[in-house]
């Protein structure tokens, strides 16, 4: 009880952006944030794909 269980990663699992940031892989991190549609509510990183982020939230569309 009270233990967090890691789920098995599916074959199509993508690397999380927070892990890329932690590992210092900034070039790869930048590639995932070129045309962001979501952001992480935990670390505030922006991404092109919600599956690259732990807690994705939709970005608000900018007016103009």
| Residue 7: per-residue pLDDT | 43
- Give a yes or no: residue 43 inside a domain: yes
Residue 48's pLDDT band (cuts 50, 70, 90)? very high
- Give a yes or no: residue 2 inside a domain: no
| Residue 60: per-residue pLDDT | 82
Domain that holds residue 37: 17-58
Domains: count for the chain = 1
Q: Locate 57 and state its tokens.
A: 């939230």
Neighbours of 48 (CB within 10 A): 15
Whether 63 has a pLDDT exceeding 90, the answer reads no
Q: Residue for token digits 């993508």?
A: 14
- Give a yes or no: residue 24 inside a domain: yes
Q: Locate 20 and state its tokens.
A: 């890329």
| Residue 43: per-residue pLDDT | 87
**Whether pTM exceeds 0.75:** no
Question: What are the tens digits of pLDDT across the range 9-37?
Answer: 444 557 788 888 899 999 988 898 889 99
- Give a yes or no: residue 37 inside a domain: yes
CA 22 to centroid of chain Cα atoms? 12
- Give a yes or no: residue 31 inside a domain: yes
């Amino acid at each position: 009880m009270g233990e967090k269980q890691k789920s098995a990663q599916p074959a199509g699992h993508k690397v999380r952006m927070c892990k890329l940031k932690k590992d210092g892989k900034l070039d790869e991190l930048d590639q995932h944030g070129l045309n962001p549609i979501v952001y992480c509510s935990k670390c505030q990183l922006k991404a092109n794909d919600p599956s690259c982020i732990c807690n994705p939230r939709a970005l608000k569309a900018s007016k103009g």
